[in-house]
A and B are shown apart, each in its own frame.
Chain A
Amino acid sequence: MSQKYNADEKGMYGRFGGAWIPEMLQPNIDNLKKVYLDIINTEKFQKEYLQLLKDYVGRPSPLYYAKRLSEKYNTNVYLKREDLNHTGAHKINNTLGQILLAKEMGKERIIAETGAGQHGVATATACALMGLKCVVYMGALDIERQAPNVARMKMLGAEVVAAKSGNQTLKDATNEALRDWICNPEDTFYIIGSVVGPHPYPDMVARFQSVISKEIKEQFKEKTGSEYPDYVVACVGGGSNASGTFYHFLDDEKVKLVAVEASGLGVDSGETAATIALGDVGIIHGSKTFLMQDDDGQIVEPYSISAGLDYPGIGPQHAHLKDTDRAIFLDATDQEALDFALEVTRLEGIIPALESAHAFVALNKLKLTKDDSVVITMSGRGDKDMGTYMDRFNLK
C-alpha cells in the first residue's frame, strides 16, 4: 500500500497526525498501537470480519449507474451505495472491525462518540451483536436533531449520554468520550467513528473503510471494462467515508480524489464546518491537522445543517492529501446540499443522508465531460434526516 499517503509507523501523514494525548491515555494508545495490525492481519480476524461484512452488513454494496443524474449533468455518474448497508451508512464497516479487535483484546465495555447518530447506531448494533456493554456520547443539540437515531441506540441497549459542553455537538461528544476513556483505561475500548483521533485510529479506521474503494475498483472494472474512474467523490466530516473511497486509488494518480466539506451558511459566514477551506494547523483530539481555531488557538465551534459533518477538524490523512495536492477539496453549503438531496431523490428515487448530499456538489463544481466517469459515495440514507427534510421541503 501507499507509503506516500498513508501513516508511517509514528502515525504521521507528512507533517500531520501523531498521538497528542495526555499521559493518562498513553498506555491505552501504546497498547492499541502495538497490537492492532497483528490482530487485524490474522486469518481468524479476517475471516470473521469478512463474513460479517457479507452476511450481516450485506456487502458488497452495489455500484449503481445513475442514469438520470448522468443525463442531467452530461457525464457518467456512479453511486457507491453505502446507504444500503445494515444500519444505513458506511459507519458499520468500521464498528464491526473495531469491535472484533476490542473482543480480541479482552475489553468488556465499549464507548463511542456520535454526531449524526449513525456511528452511535452502528456501534450500538455491533455491541448488541457481540453482547458488550455500550455507552454512546452525543451532543445535546444532536440528540434533538437526530431523535430517531437516539431511539434506535436505546432500543439496541446502549446508554446515550448527552454532552452538554461547547456547542453540544460532535466535538463535545468526542471530548466526553475521551474523558470516559481516561477514567476507565482497563476494561473499556473506545470505538472512534472517523479517521480522527490519536494514532493508530486514523490508520485503523481507514483500513476498515477501505473495503469501499476495494469494491469500487472491482465493480467499476466489471461494469465498464476500464480500470479506473476519472473521479471518486465523498463528503468529509472527519473523513472516514472519504478515506475508504480513496484508499485503493491513492497511488493511481490518474484517479482524481475529491472531498467535499460542509460550508454551512458559507465559508466566510462564521457558520461553517469547512475546515480545509479555513485551514490552519493545530492539534485537536490527539491529532495534528487542519482545524478551525481563533487567533488564540481556541477551537471555533463549527456549524453545518448535517450533524455528521459538523466537526472543526479533519482526519490527518486528508490534511496531508491537501498539502500534497493529491486530493481536490470542494465545499457545499446547507442550501446546496438540500437542493441536491431533493434532486437526487427525484431523479433516482434515492433519499440521501444530508451528509452524503453534500458530495453531489462536485457535479456542479468539477468541469465534467460526457466521457468522464464519476463515482460518488452515497455514505448513508436519509431516513434519519426526515425531520429536517420535512421542515425544509414543506412535507408536513
Chain B
Amino acid sequence: MNRIKQLFRDKKDILSIYYTAGYPNLNDTVPILETLEDAGADIVEIGIPFSDPLADGPTIQHSGETALKNGMSLNVLFDQLKDVRSKVKMPLILMGYINTVHKFGIETFAKKCNEVGVDGVILPDLPFQEYLDNYKDTFDQYGVSNIFLITPQTPEERIKLIDEKTNGFIYMVSSAAVTGAKKGLSEAQLAYFDRVNKLNLQNPALIGFGIGDHESYKETCKYADGAIVGSAFVKLLGQAKDLHGEIKSFIKEVKGI
C-alpha cells in the first residue's frame, strides 16, 4: 500500500509541514526532514523554489529567493533526496510550479520521484484538464500521486471530478488567499468545509493556508483529516538560532504533545 494511503488509514489529525528545499541553507533539506519526522510531523511537502511563485505570500517568496541564491534546483534536490528513504518513513510530497517541472521534463521528473521515494506531487498551476490529457498517465506509470487544490470558490462538480481522478489527498485551501495570509476561521469558511464534507469524497482532505499554531491546527482538524502548516514554519526556519531544537518544539507545540 502506498505511504499516503497507509498514513490516512492509520492516523487522525494529520499534520503536514511545508518548507522550501535549500532553505535556510542549501544542505538543510534532508536534516530538516529528519528532525520533522522525529518531532512528530506526519507528511512533508518540500517546496521546489521558483523565480515567480505567484500563489505565494512574502514569507515563502523570500525562502524561495534565498534557496535559489543558495543554488537549489531540481537536480540538486533529487541529489539530496537520493538516500532519503533510508532516513525517513513518512510520505513525502514535492510542491512546485509547473515551469520548473516542464523544463526538467515530465517523464524524467516522475521517474526521479519514484526512484528517490517521493510519494506525491502538488503543481498548483497545472490545469486539471491538462493533467488528465497529458500528465496523468506518466505519473500513474511511476506510482506518483497528484494532489490538487480546491478553494471556497471551486464548484462542486469540479471537486468531485478532482476526487474521482486523483488518489492522494485533496488540498483544501482555506480561503481566497496566497500562502501566509489571514488567520482564524470565519463562518463562510466553516460553511465551505461543511459543504465539502457532505460530498463524502473518496480521498482524505487536508486544510491549508493560514494555519500556524496549536489552536488553528486543532480547529481545522475538526473539519478535515488534518492541517497543513507552511508560512509559519518557514518563518521559523528563517529566524531560528537553534534550528533543530526550535523545529522540534514548534511541532510539539502545534500538535500539543
| Contact A24 B181, CB 8 Å, known A166-B52, A284-B52 | no
Give bound CA distance, A281 to B101, whole Å.
Answer: 12
Q: A24-B151, A286-B125 are in contact. Are A185 and B102 (CB under 8 A)?
A: no
* Given known A-B contacts A18-B127, A165-B61, A166-B52, A23 and B151 have beta carbons under 8 A apart: yes
Taking CB atoms, residues of chain B closer than 8 Å to A184 are: 176
When the two chains form their complex, are residues B98 and A23 in contact, meaning their CB atoms are under 8 A apart? no
State whether the Cβ of B116 lies closer than 8 Å to any Cβ in chain A: no
B190 within 8 A of A: no
Q: Which of B7-15, B23-31, B68-76, B236-244 lies at the interface?
A: B68-76
Partner of A298, one of B98, B100, B125, B130: B100
Using Cβ atoms and an 8 Å threshold, which residues of chain A touch B185?
none
- Given contacts A165-B61, A283-B125, A297-B104, A182 and B99 within 8 Å (CB-CB): no
Q: Within A270-299, which residues are at the interface with B (CB < 8 Å)?
A: 281-286, 293, 295-299
Q: How far is the CA of A140 from the CA of B22 in the complex (A)?
A: 27
> Measured between alpha carbons, how far is A165 from B73 in the docked complex, in Å?
19
- The reply to whether A299 and B149 form a contact with Cβ atoms under 8 Å apart is no
Contacts A18-B127, A175-B52 given: A23-B150 contact, CB under 8 Å?
yes
Is A183 close to B, CB under 8 A? yes
Which of chain A's residues have a CB closer than 8 A to the CB of B100?
A: 296-298
Q: Kindly list chain A residues whose C-beta atoms are within 8 Å of the C-beta of B153.
A: 24, 26-27, 185
Q: How far is the CA of A175 from the CA of B54 in the complex (A)?
A: 5
The number of residues on chain A lying at the interface, defined by a beta carbon within 8 Å of a beta carbon of chain B, is 32
Give a binary string over A152-184; 1 marks a CB under 8 Å from any B CB, 0 the rest.
Answer: 000000000000011000010001001100111
List residues 144-190 of chain B with CB under 8 A from any CB of chain A.
148-151, 153-155, 158, 173, 176-178, 181
- Which residues of B sit under 8 angstroms from A23, Cβ to Cβ? 124, 148-151, 154, 173
Mark B121-143 against chain A: 1 for CB-CB distance below 8 A, else 0: 00011110010000000000000
Residue A21 lies at the interface, judged by CB distance under 8 Å to chain B: yes
Tell me the bound Cα distance from A27 to B154 in angstroms: 7
B50 at the interface (CB under 8 A from A): yes
Complex Cα distance, B40 from A54, in Å, reads 67
B57, B101, B125 — which one has the most chain A CB atoms within 10 A of its CB? B125
8 Å CB contact of B125 from A20, A183, A296:
A20
Number of interface residues of B (CB under 8 A): 40
* Residues of B30-75 contacting chain A, CB below 8 A: 50-57, 61, 65, 68, 73-75
**A22 with B130: in contact, given A182-B176, A182-B178 (CB under 8 Å)?**
no
Rounded to whole angstroms, the CA-CA distance of A297 and B49 in the bound complex is: 10
Q: Per-residue CB proximity of B108-128 to A under 8 Å, as 1/0?
A: 000000000000000011110
Total residue contacts A-B, CB cutoff 8 A: 104
Tell me whether A111 is interfacial, beta carbon within 8 Å: no
CA of A366 to CA of B98 in the docked complex: distance in angstroms?
A: 38
**Contacting residues, chain B, for A284 (C-beta < 8 A):** 52, 99
Judged by DSSP, the binding face of B is: loop
B103 CB within 8 Å of chain A? yes
Are the CB atoms of A22 and B54 closer together than 8 Å?
yes
In the bound assembly, the distance between CA atoms of A186 and B51 in angstroms comes to 28
- List A contacts of B65 (CB < 8 A): 165
> Cβ of B57: which chain A residues have Cβ within 8 Å of it?
179
A296 near B177: Cβ-Cβ < 8 Å: no
Chain B residues near A250: list those with CB within 8 A: none
Q: Mark A5-33, 1 if CB is under 8 A from B, else 0.
A: 00000000000001111111011000000
Residues of B near A171 (CB, < 8 A) are 52
Q: Could you say which residues of chain A place their CB within 8 Å of the CB of B181?
A: 183
Q: How far, in angstroms, from A27 to B176 measured CA to CA in the complex?
A: 11
The interface residues of chain A lying within 8 Å CB-to-CB of B99 are: 282-284, 293, 297, 299
B149 touching A297 by the CB < 8 A rule? no
Judge whether A297 and B130 touch: CB under 8 Å: no
Q: Across the interface, which residues of A come within 8 angstroms of B51, CB to CB?
A: 166, 298-299
A-B contact pairs, 12 of them (CB 8 A): A20-B98, A23-B148, A23-B173, A27-B155, A179-B54, A182-B54, A183-B176, A183-B177, A285-B54, A297-B50, A297-B74, A297-B102
Instruction: Given contacts A23-B150, A185-B176, A285-B54, list 7 more A-B pairs with CB under 8 A.
Output: A23-B124, A23-B149, A23-B151, A23-B173, A183-B181, A282-B99, A283-B99
Chain B interfacial positions (CB closer than 8 Å to A): 50-57, 61, 65, 68, 73-75, 97-104, 124-127, 130, 148-151, 153-155, 158, 173, 176-178, 181
What are the nearest 6 A-B pairs in CB distance? A297-B103, A297-B100, A27-B153, A296-B73, A23-B149, A22-B124
